[in-house]
Amino acid sequence: FSQAKLARRSQERDNLGMLVWSPNQNLSEAKLDEYIAIAKEKHGYNMEQALGMLFWHKHNIEKSLADLPNFTPFPDEWTVEDKVLFEQAFSFHGKTFHRIQQMLPDKSIASLVKFYYSWKKTRTKTSVMDRHARRQKREREESEDELEETNGNNPIDMEIDQNKESKKEVPPTETIPQIKKEKHSTQAKNRAKRKPPKGMFLSQEDVEAVSANATAATTVLRQLDLELVSIKRQV
């Protein structure tokens, strides 16, 4: 190799980031999942930290499991996206943390439970979704206030104007009572025009005799009852 090529390769190595994981064909997915689950549940590692430990021990699961308790993982950082996902998952699944973990696979159950209790205490202050909803509500109220100011109409004045218009629309005289009176008068006329039932005949003399005094009507009715009884006996 020439001196220029060696310098270029050394520069490329310096620019490379630190490799923390590389898959191994001899390591099955079942063993890898089991190792990651133990690292998360018992020791509080996230997936990246657990894989980094395994890569450090050259994919030897036994050595990695033995070395996990010797180190304290970095504090679990929660980004804004993680917090929003947690709030959405909690609204769907409640305290079913193994289902919440399906939306946040990098978080252990212990980490989810720990975050839940800290989030529960200061939910109204730290909730990203609640802050967003309050901000939208405040912006909507401000826009409504601006619209009212631009219109320049006082609601009380508008009600007074509407009352004035309604008063103008009402006619000066009401015809409803007159209609009712006409109905009563027509009913009285119809009642006066009615004829007695079939077979009944009224004469002017009988009407005068009945209306002469209070006892006259009773006397006439008794006579009629006696006549009716005698007629029935004859039949």
pLDDT number for residue 163 = 58
Structure confidence at residue 71 (pLDDT): 82
| pLDDT at 202 (0 to 100) | 66
**pLDDT value of position 35:** 93
Beta strands in the chain (DSSP E): none
Burial class (CB in 10 A: 0-12, 13-18, 19+), 195: exposed
Q: Which of 47, 29, 27, 26 is nearest to 37 (CA)?
A: 47
Q: What is the pLDDT of residue 155?
A: 53
- In this prediction, residue 90 carries a pLDDT of 92
**CA torsion, ordered 187, 192, 198, 199, to nearest 10 deg:** 150
Domain ranges, ordered by start, for the chain: 1-74, 77-149
pLDDT beneath 70, residues of the chain: 1-18, 74-76, 124-133, 145-197, 199-202, 210, 214, 235
112, 104 contact by CB (below 8 A):
yes
The per-type count for the chain, helices as H runs and strands as E runs, is 13, 0
In 3D, which of 70, 72, 60, 71 has the Cα closest to residue 35?
60
The pTM of the whole model exceeds 0.85: no
